[in-house]
Amino acid sequence: MRLLGEEPRVALAAKVLEQLYACVQSGQRLAASDVREAVRTLDTAPETELKKVYGDVLRDVGGRRKLYAKNLAQRTYIDLIQKHDVVLAVGPAGTGKTYLAMAMAVAALNRREVSRLILVRPAVEAGEKLGFLPGDLIEKVNPYMRPLYDALRDLMDFGKVSRLIERDVIEVAPLAFMRGRTLNDAFVILDEAQNTTREQMKMFLTRLGFNSKAVITGDITQIDLPAGERSGMIDAIEVLRGVEGIGKVEFTRVDVVRHPLVQSIVHAYEKASAARDRSAALPASRE
């Protein structure tokens, strides 16, 4: 292969190709999106070793396919979960916050590091009123829990998921169900944490028991709380800053790993939000 261009870019391209080739030799399957991400990663962090970023650290998950970190932010996230008992993950949709946390939880269960998985979400309507929902209590809250079920069933065989839920090895529950409990020997994921109140977040964090790990994920640009209600996730990020044993990773739009258009959509909304903020900050005109 012959590379043409300015010296710094040729050097970068050569480094990307060499490292990607090493990944392929080790069994990693690459998509076009992985190549784009590799270029971005080595351009911003030249000392990075892609083989370590893409290493199959989730090999104990089992299920239908191997799982790899897609970028440096995801690899940092995985490392933080391995090293800390509490991890806060903030960032836009499509960055893998919930999915990777779920994969790490399933891996921990398979390795018998924990005896149960507890998947939690606040039951907050996302910008629309659902009104009366028929059925018993579990049936009423199931629509709020559906994204967690979807991720779980993508990682594990459908029949196995059902059996583990029946045996209470896996519990999917609204946040309100956590009050008064102590969660020992468990891997706990709180999803959509931007929609918790300060009181709910404090309640959740103080549920953590012995040999337990908690991962808290959320997008603080998509808060569906009533006007004037401060997000418990924003509050926790400030209150827990510097507390030993708590890790924090912040994803950005460039870390989005869904369809390439999703990254552009996130960027467009960020620009529109910034423009509105600038407009609101301007003094009112006087006649």
Task: Label residues 105-133 b or e (16+ Cβ within 10 Å = b).
Answer: bbbbbeeeebebbbbbbbbbeeeeeeeee
Q: How confident is the model at residue 128 (pLDDT cuts 50, 70, 90)?
A: very low
Distance CA 19, CA 45 (A): 14
Looking at residues 245-257, what average pLDDT do you find? 88
How many CA atoms within 13 Å lie on the side-chain side of 112?
0
Quote the pLDDT of residue 123.
73
Quote the pLDDT of residue 163.
92
Quote the pLDDT of residue 157.
83
Comparing CA positions, the residue from 251, 229, 233 lying closest to residue 194 is 233
Looking at residues 136-159, what average pLDDT do you find? 72
pLDDT of 263 higher than 80 = no
Looking at residues 97-105, what average pLDDT do you find? 91
Weakest-pLDDT range from 2-11, 36-45, 55-64, 200-209: 55-64
Query: Bridge partners of 117?
Result: 170, 187
pLDDT of 240 higher than 70 = yes
Coil vs helix vs strand at 185: coil
pLDDT of 199 higher than 50 = yes
66 versus 154: which is more confidently predicted? 154
Looking at residues 109-124, what average pLDDT do you find? 88
Structure tokens at 285: 């005109």
The DSSP secondary structure of 106-163, one letter per residue, reads HHHHHTTS-SEEEEEE----SSS------SSHHHHHHHHHHHHHHHHHHHS-HHHHHH
Q: Highest mean pLDDT range out of 219-228, 234-243, 262-271, 277-286?
A: 234-243
5 versus 54: which is more confidently predicted? 5
Quote the pLDDT of residue 77.
93
Comparing CA positions, the residue from 127, 75, 91, 95 lying closest to residue 233 is 91
Distance CA 48, CA 227 (A): 43
Distance CA 40, CA 171 (A): 38
Quote the pLDDT of residue 90.
96
Amino acid at 205: L
Quote the pLDDT of residue 127.
42
Mean pLDDT of the chain: 83
Distance CA 71, CA 65 (A): 18
Provide the whole-model pTM.
Answer: 0.76
Quote the pLDDT of residue 193.
94
CB 212 within 8 A of CB 184: yes
Distances (CA, A) of 84 to 78, 120, 215, 244: 10, 19, 9, 9
CB 84 within 8 A of CB 247: yes
pLDDT of 23 higher than 50 = yes
